[in-house]
Chain A
Amino acid sequence: MKTTEDGKIRYKSDIVLRQIRTNVLTVLSYIFLIWVWQFTLSLQSSMYTLMNVAVFVMWAFGAAGVILCKEDREVIIKHTKHQIAYYLIVVFVYDLFLRVVVNGMNTSVPGYDTDPSLAVARQFLLVVSTMLKIGFPIAFVIWMIQKFAIFKSGLSKQRQMEILRNVRKGFSPKNKKENETFEKDNINNRY
């Protein structure tokens, strides 16, 4: 806050500037991710549809997780963005490597036959590529399903931990009144 020559008060806050800066960076990060998505897929041929659907499913699970798991929003957003970025970048880099190696294996020097075991090595590298392309999204979806299991039926994380400690009490998700009764005999509620 400072006073101008007219005697009027003017508020000068850097919070607004920081807010604008972080928001612009956030939007740019998503535009970058969409660009990486399209760029990496433009180099794919037979795996194009699979990878397109995989990234789509990752976005979908990320959005559902952000809506359903309120306490873990920050972690879910960060993990979704990192997983999609690593997925696309790792696939891009591995396929660059694969293209060079597989093309090198196909060429043979005149007068010499190619080693038949090279075909096995080539197939192994191709299978690794496929495992990367399928494994990343499956790992992310499983991680998100674990989150859904924690936050199921609108429970908070604290409540879920209490329920897991009181397994013997017999928790029923439909009868909420019964769950809120304080059990003095339970060792977890004593201190």
Chain B
Amino acid sequence: MMDTFVNFFKNLWNFFVSINANAFWTIVYYLSQNWFIISAIIFIAVLMYTEIKINTSHLIDDRREMY
């Protein structure tokens, strides 16, 4: 019973270690330091969100988002 419990935490720890080994979080950290990429993502998110809203307003025939 105790062995299973310890193994769970060991696997959990190895999971985070493997993520770092794949450099995912390192890449996320480097990207988070770059104001150029952050602001580009914000601009693209604004455009994407508005386009999704407009597509929805076409489907349900409600144009309040546009006028």
**Residues of A participating in the B interface, judged by any CB pair closer than 8 Å:** 15, 18-19, 22-23, 26-27, 30, 34, 52, 56, 59-60, 62-63, 66-67, 70-71, 73-74, 77, 80-81
Contact = CB atoms under 8 A, between A and B. Distances in A.
Interface string B5-39: 00000000000000000000000000000001001
A27 B65 CA distance: 19
A191 B13 CA distance: 78
Q: Main secondary structure on chain A at its contact with chain B? A: helix
A80 B47 contact: yes
B66 A59 contact: no
Instruction: Find the residue from B50, B56, B60 having the highest chain A CB count within 10 A.
Output: B50
Contacts of B2: none
A70 B44 CA distance: 17
23 contacts: A15-B59, A18-B59, A19-B55, A22-B56, A22-B59, A23-B52, A23-B56, A26-B48, A30-B44, A30-B48, A34-B44, A59-B40, A59-B47, A63-B46, A66-B47, A66-B50, A67-B46, A71-B66, A71-B67, A73-B54, A74-B66, A77-B47, A80-B47
Contacts of A22: 52, 55-56, 59
Given A26-B51, A63-B43, A70 B66 contact: yes
Contact of B43 (A15, A27, A52, A62): A62
